[in-house]
Chains A and B, each alone.
Chain A
Amino acid sequence: MLLSKNWSVGRRVAVILVVTAAAGLIPYAVMRATDSWVLPSSRTGVLLGLLGAAIIFFEMALYVRKKFRRFKGWPPLLWNVRVWLWVHVVLGIAVLPVILVHGKYGFGGFVPALTMVLFLATIASGVWGLVVQQWLPQELIDTVPDETVASQVNRVAAAYVGRKPVVWSKEHDRDRTGEIFRLLESLTLEGAEPGEVLPAPGGGAVVAARSEALVRGKPAEELWKFCEGLLVPYLERGRSSGSPLASEYDARRRFMQLRESLPAEAWDAIGRLEQLAQYRREWDAQQRVNGWLHAWVPVHLGLSAAMTGVMLVHAVRAMKYW
């Protein structure tokens, strides 16, 4: 394998960058030193152009292969998606000198220049993707031990608040039956039979757990206010809620203040609430890392598709007059 997983991240990134730079610059250095440039219209130049186009079409085929991931062809190795991806990476770097030499390390007219710019941007985005793939997964494991599915973070976090009454309800229209409210109810509601549904101070309704509340009076109001005003919005919307709980320091301080105002028997429940806030902070971080890890793919794909289209226009027009 080109890159060993036993290597450090820095070493793997360095190898990728060095190999890419070498692929791009060594032919230039050789041609400049020998003053023997390949003209785009020469036999060699056209051959390189055709070879580059063939490689680019293969690279684009990875998208199709992934679309039909379940397809099993023969021989299996040839249709193995991981093998395709590996070849995609290797040929993606190999096509760089092919196209640069074909273009005589220049840009030419508007369409050839546009093709070349898109090509270089595609290669750059691909290399960027390769680099972040070496680095961020480990970063994710280290910083988000309790990770979840990144695309479902809002939904998972909001599930601690409650359930949506109907599928098309908005995320913040939940029924307040989640773990948070069950904990609050268990701490603060009183004067009801166990199992009785009571209106919650912060709105909504909860099921009473005991007849005598553990937390009563002003502390109970403060607890409800804390959860409804800070914790629930933070779980539902994360950093965009503006909640101070997004800061680990602020969260620790506020939960500490909350504990001081509550009896020790309630601290376990408060600890759980703090853990939920911690989850959300980790998942926010996970979303950010996940963004860096995957956002380049649409860019890479869009650039590739645009480049392939413009390349076809360039090739047809060039062949017409060449």
Chain B
Amino acid sequence: MPRSPSRDRSDRFTGFRGYVREPDRYARAKSAALLSAGVLVGLWLVVEAAHPRAAAFHTHGELANPHAAWDQNCAACHKQHGISDFSLSTVLNAQDRWHDLTCTKCHAGPSHHQTMDAEGVAFHDKCSNCHHDHAGRTASLTRIADHHCVRCHENLPGHTSGPTNYEKTVTSFASAHPEFKALRDYPPGTNYAPRKLKFSHAVHMFPGMGTGMSPDRIRELSGDDAARRYGEIRSKTPVALACASCHQLDAQVPTAADPPGESRQQFDQISLLLRGQPRAAVQPPRAAGAYYLPVNYDAHCKACHPTGVPGGAVGGGDNALNVAGFLVPHRLQMTEAEPLVRGGFWAQLAKASPAVAKAKLPGGRLDPAPAPDVTATFGGEIDRLTRTALAWMVADPEPAKAEDRPAAQGVACAKCHAFTGEGKAAKVEALPQHTVWFAHARFNHVSHRGLTCAECHPGTGPFTTAPPPRPNETEPVAILGVKSCQACHAPAGTRVEQADKTTTTAAGVRHGCTDCHRYHNGDRPLHGLGSPVRDPHTPQTLADFLSGGKK
């Protein structure tokens, strides 16, 4: 009788039917895998507990360079939360716990604008809402994505607690950015105060400045040092100014180690002109070169335009005396200049008439003596000359040809300055502080030094045609509009129509809000990083600092 296949199969296991109680290799492998996983996780826990850099395993990215010291120390910036901090209502608020930072241990971040509404204040109280770290060593903590700014600036009135003077809707630099404030409402209107200083680039950037100004004439006006600064090989060659003759970057003061060159030479020449004055006032020792220093009268104007008063005639007939004009110091109001002018005329009159200097003065009560004739009217003449000179300084009755003006006379204040009031009460109008024109934005001239100045500052020369007889001495704001920036700073390929109707194609240079603007300290935008309002409340020791600061 043939065996059935089932029986055959069954018989194969005769003698070892208990095999089912023995783990096969897959069962053993499962146990081994579980055991291995458990051992590995256990080892990891040991590493977590013992490794000094264990915290670095958990971050989602390296900290930026300024914070690199705390890559392994989460508690340096993050407040730790224990079991007691959790409740049913807060357990999901991980982001709030994550944003519970201690930035102000080291950073004081002044508020943006006081007019921000309560929601905005609450949002901006958490630094990490905008400043995102853990994005790698080289990531910028201050280059903030546009949407952080647009959050409010796309509808600014909706995010302020009161009226605002700023543009109501700004969404991007490339496509929805207002014109520069200085150019809006120009000519003079709401946002623009006319310049208080008379100056014409058309005159000054033309060789000889329309008056045949030469080094010889400068020597006559202000001496050899001034003539050397502007001198050419041939001293009768008309002086041709360049932008850098007056506009200097806030760059480093050259030292003896610096190679001789144009900048070194220029600095040395300016130093000569400023002899006796603190040089650091106009040349800070180490600066970034972002801005141009203010034009300084003593360094840049005085050589051609020394301030002074004209002389005059005293007396009449055969006894008439000609009193010469003389120079007076700069930076004086009329009330301050008046005694100097009066004293100057005393000296000039005495020089013109030695008899006056030698005249006997009245003797006194016990020795009365008659006053000489010439002294009888001396005081009155001095008063008259002083009054005339002060009126001249305020009115600037310029002679027909500037080159005919006596060197000793100098120029009147009113040649450049505007006045309020009259006579002795006249006051030079204060000049607005325009070292930084973009008060709410940053600009770095050094970064743009590849361009000529006139590319962005139209109407500043150099000029090859003679200036008109009556040049515009208050000039428009000499800067192109925001579209000239967008020629480079816009997404690559963006076509921008410029003011001159030409069309440029943007190069894709960065164009984020924070490339020009800074958020903090919005009400005091000229307070830089060095401002005391940014100082931490409690400076720390190095040991405290490196360990994450005082808790």
Contacts and interface: CB of A to CB of B under 8 A. Distances in A.
Interface string A285-305: 000000000110111011111
A109 interface: yes
B57 A109 contact: yes
A20 B40 CA distance: 29
A298 B57 contact: no
Interface in B1-36: 5, 9, 12-16, 19, 24-26, 29-30, 32-34, 36
Contact of A321 (B34, B48, B97): B97
A243 interface: no
B36 A302 contact: yes
Contact of B30 (A41, A109, A298, A321): A298
B95 A322 contact: yes
A304 B34 CA distance: 9
A163 B74 CA distance: 67
Nearest to A296: B26
Nearest to A145: B5
A309 B38 contact: yes
- Interface on chain A toward B: helix, strand, loop, or mixed SS? helix
Contacts of A136: none
B98 A322 contact: yes
B45 interface: yes
Given A43-B93, A110-B58, A156 B30 contact: no
Contacts of B24: 150-151
Contacts of A163: 15
A320 interface: yes
B19 A152 contact: yes
A149 interface: yes
A149 B58 contact: no
Contacts of B81: 319-322
A39 interface: yes
A151 B19 contact: yes
A159 B58 CA distance: 57
A151 to B, nearest CB: 4
B37 A306 contact: yes
Contacts of B57: 109-111
Contacts of B440: none
A40 B12 CA distance: 58
A42 B94 contact: yes
B80 A313 contact: no
B92 A43 contact: yes
Contacts of A201: none
B41 A321 contact: no
A47 B12 CA distance: 56
A218 to B, nearest CB: 33
B95 A302 contact: no
Interface in A26-42: 39-42
A172 interface: no
Contacts of A40: 94
Contacts of B92: 43, 46-47
B33 A45 contact: no
A40 B95 CA distance: 8
Contacts of A210: none
A108 B56 CA distance: 12
B94 A109 contact: no
A41 B48 contact: no
B61 interface: yes
B93 A301 contact: no
A149 B10 CA distance: 11
B77 to A, nearest CB: 9
B44 interface: yes
A254 interface: no
Contacts of A159: 12, 14-15
Contact of B32 (A43, A298, A310): A298
Contacts of A320: 74, 80-82
Interface string B56-98: 1111110000000000001100111110001000011111011
Contacts of A239: none
Contact of A151 (B25, B33, B80, B86): B25
B191 to A, nearest CB: 37
A297 B27 CA distance: 9
Contacts of A39: 95
Nearest to A156: B12
A90 B25 CA distance: 28
A80 interface: no
Contact of B94 (A41, A295, A298): A41
A109 B15 contact: no
A69 interface: no
B58 A297 contact: no
B102 to A, nearest CB: 12
Nearest to B38: A305
Contacts of B134: 109
Contact of B60 (A109, A152, A294): A109
Nearest to A160: B12
A111 B98 contact: no
A44 to B, nearest CB: 8
A298 B453 CA distance: 73
A43 B26 CA distance: 42
B94 A318 contact: yes
A155 interface: yes
A108 B115 CA distance: 38
Nearest to B26: A294
A314 interface: yes
A211 interface: no
Nearest to A306: B37
6 contacts: A46-B94, A151-B26, A159-B12, A302-B37, A313-B41, A320-B81
Interface of A: 39-43, 45-47, 63, 106, 108-112, 146, 148-152, 155-156, 159, 163, 294-295, 297-299, 301-306, 309-310, 313-314, 317-322
Interface of B: 5, 9, 12-16, 19, 24-26, 29-30, 32-34, 36-38, 40-41, 44-45, 48, 56-61, 74-75, 78-82, 86, 91-95, 97-98, 134
* Closest 10 A/B residue pairs (Cβ): A302-B33, A309-B41, A305-B37, A151-B24, A108-B60, A298-B29, A322-B94, A306-B37, A41-B95, A298-B33
Given A150-B24, A322-B97, 5 more contacts: A41-B95, A109-B61, A302-B34, A319-B94, A322-B98
